[in-house]
Chain A
Amino acid sequence: MKAEWTTWAKEARERFPQANSALMPLLHRIQQAEAWLDEETLADVADLLELPVQYVQSVASFYSLFYQERVGRRVIHVCVGLSCALAGADALMHELEEKLGISAGQTTRDGAYSLREAECLAACDLAPVAQVNLRFHGRVSPGDGDRLLSEKVST
């Protein structure tokens, strides 16, 4: 457990004192720092918020943005919704799979990239849309894979 997590847990509980509302804010904050949530981290969160560890695992596993396996430094979400599909999202995904040598859902061996499908990202005006570490990149047409992979990311 990192020392600052205790402070973060306290802050989350002050901000969201009722029910278990502090849980997701705390998971978000720790994941932002650690990139993903391993079993030990979830156990620490359970301790910090005085919740059963099974409960914390159950909540974390419900939500697709709580990563319970190691992810790359850049997590690329390609929207596969209908509007993006009409604009070529499948070909874009195919191109990224080829460039990275991985399938959707996997992480490159060097830990640089994870590639994931996203259900409609609510940016259909910019189709095809992708996110790099949850930042939107619009009109990423097939052929723009290199541009997407080299987007600057804030850490």
Chain B
Amino acid sequence: MSRKYYLLRNREVPDIDQLAVYEAHDGYQALRQALSQGNPQDIVDVVKNSGLRGRGGAGFPTGVKWGFLPKDGRRRYLVVNSDEAEPGTFKDRELIEHNPHQLIEGMIIASYAIGAHEAYIYCRGEFLTGYEQLTRAVDEAYARGYLGENILDSGFELDIRVYRGAGAYICGEESALLESLEGRRGNPRLKPPFPAIAGLYGMPTIVNNVETIVNVPPLITFGAQWYRSMGTDKSPGLKVMSVSGRVKRPGNYEIPLATPLRTLIEDYAGGMLAGRTVKAVIPGGSSVPLLTAAQLDTPIDYEAMMAAGTMLGSGGCIVLDDSVCMVSAAHRLVKFYREESCGKCTPCREGTYWMTDVLGRIDAGDGEERDLEVLLDIADNMAGKCFCPLGDASLGFMVSAVTHFRAEFERHVHEHRCPMGAKLYDTINH
């Protein structure tokens, strides 16, 4: 199946990570166009009019965010969030490892638009190859005059620095990211003030996801109307979906928004593994509630996902088949949040700990009759009461799994084993 890709364009081109090859495929042409037009506000308007929304998970309109920067003459920063660690999501890794110049070009245009002369890429610590790719590509861009002083004789000046995280999911939360970038523990900050008012080093800062910024060059080339020709009025444009789990062809797929979830799974990802059927789908990364097999016709856009009881989130789509034990899946996901909770606030630190504990004993066949109510009670005591979104994020799958598959949880308790016959994993004690 041949599809025209924009964000994942040139993914089949060997050495597209090399500057010369990128240039030979029209690389940095959008930057030339943006700089030659000479009006940063025009670029902000294109992004605003396109309806592009933040692709890190929150889905906030990017142009509106850019518009929040106060016009008070203070220095401002662009920070690109490449701390991709939401289970099920792997789009930014491909974008930075495979085509780093595309991100850098987008960053230069975005910095020009918002008037930033310093920009940072916060790269996940585990992405060593991605970090090296970005560092090398930034060096190439300097050598070629795309970065530094007087870029392409426009008078515009920009420095980009690549900063490496060191293993902490919470640093994907923008205020924790800024703390980490300032050389501190990655504890989230109280908001407001939002980063646009007081961000990096206390200055106005725009934090955007990698994929969001990668949208900027094609927006310059093709315009806001082109972007709005795809998707819906409120969810226009393109989205990279990471599909994994029990499908034939796991991978990143670029879709026009409002494509049905079924099309993504059956056409793009090749359908389910032989003999398997869909049991549930996590459509937007581990932090969102599941959709059942009956909801596969839900269009992949922010509003339709919301109406179906879940969220588009980061676009990390994990497909669970009929052999998957929902208790094990919930246990696994909640344990992730326990591991990654920064410990700053009590509901998240304690809640993720206790939920993991209770799910673990249900999973092991040692659950008690009241455990389901205990789980839901903990969830109720966390929802809306955590300092940052991580605590709430730990609830989405678990609560929806109990809601839609309650009988499966109850059978674990009553039969003292997994009715699916799922094998439990024990660490060997050496």
Chain A residues close to B by CB (< 8 Å): 15-16, 18-25, 27-28, 58-59, 62-66, 77, 80-83, 85-86, 90-91, 93-94, 97-98, 101-104, 106, 118-127, 131, 134-136
- Picked from B127, B286, B340, B425, the residue with its CB within 8 Å of the CB of A82 is B286
Residues from chain B with Cβ under 8 Å of A101 in the complex: 430
List 22 interface pairs A-B (beta carbons < 8 Å), by A numbering: A22-B183, A24-B164, A24-B165, A24-B180, A28-B164, A63-B125, A63-B168, A64-B166, A65-B126, A82-B88, A82-B333, A83-B244, A90-B425, A93-B427, A94-B425, A94-B428, A98-B428, A103-B429, A104-B427, A124-B88, A125-B242, A127-B250
- The answer to whether B425 touches A93 (Cβ under 8 A) is yes
Question: With the chains together, A28 CA to B180 CA distance in Å?
Answer: 14
Question: With the chains together, A107 CA to B169 CA distance in Å?
Answer: 24
- The answer to whether B84 touches A122 (Cβ under 8 A) is yes
- Picked from A24, A81, A85, A126, the residue with its CB within 8 Å of the CB of B183 is A24
Question: With the chains together, A81 CA to B184 CA distance in Å?
Answer: 27
Nearest CB in chain B: distance from A105 CB, A: 8
User: In the complex, given contacts A120-B87, A124-B316, what are 5 additional A-B residue pairs having Cβ atoms less than 8 angstroms apart?
Assistant: A15-B161, A25-B163, A63-B165, A82-B245, A94-B425
- Most chain A beta-carbon contacts within 10 A, residue among B87, B129, B201, B250: B87
Check B90 for interface membership: any CB of A closer than 8 A.
yes
- The answer to whether B181 touches A65 (Cβ under 8 A) is no
Check B318 for interface membership: any CB of A closer than 8 A.
yes
- The answer to whether A65 touches B129 (Cβ under 8 A) is no
**CB-CB nearest in chain A for B202:** A19
- Picked from B128, B252, B428, the residue with its CB within 8 Å of the CB of A97 is B428
Residues from chain A with Cβ under 8 Å of B87 in the complex: 81-83, 119-120, 124
Of residues 76 through 93 on chain B, the ones whose CB sits less than 8 Å from some CB of chain A are 84-90, 92-93
Check B369 for interface membership: any CB of A closer than 8 A.
no
**CB-CB nearest in chain B for A23:** B183
Residues from chain B with Cβ under 8 Å of A80 in the complex: 332
- The answer to whether B128 touches A135 (Cβ under 8 A) is yes
- The answer to whether B164 touches A25 (Cβ under 8 A) is yes
Check B372 for interface membership: any CB of A closer than 8 A.
no
**CB-CB nearest in chain A for B170:** A62
Residues from chain A with Cβ under 8 Å of B286 in the complex: 82, 120
Question: With the chains together, A90 CA to B92 CA distance in Å?
Answer: 26
**CB-CB nearest in chain A for B118:** A18
Question: With the chains together, A85 CA to B242 CA distance in Å?
Answer: 17
Residues from chain B with Cβ under 8 Å of A122 in the complex: 84-86, 89-90, 92-93, 124, 126-127
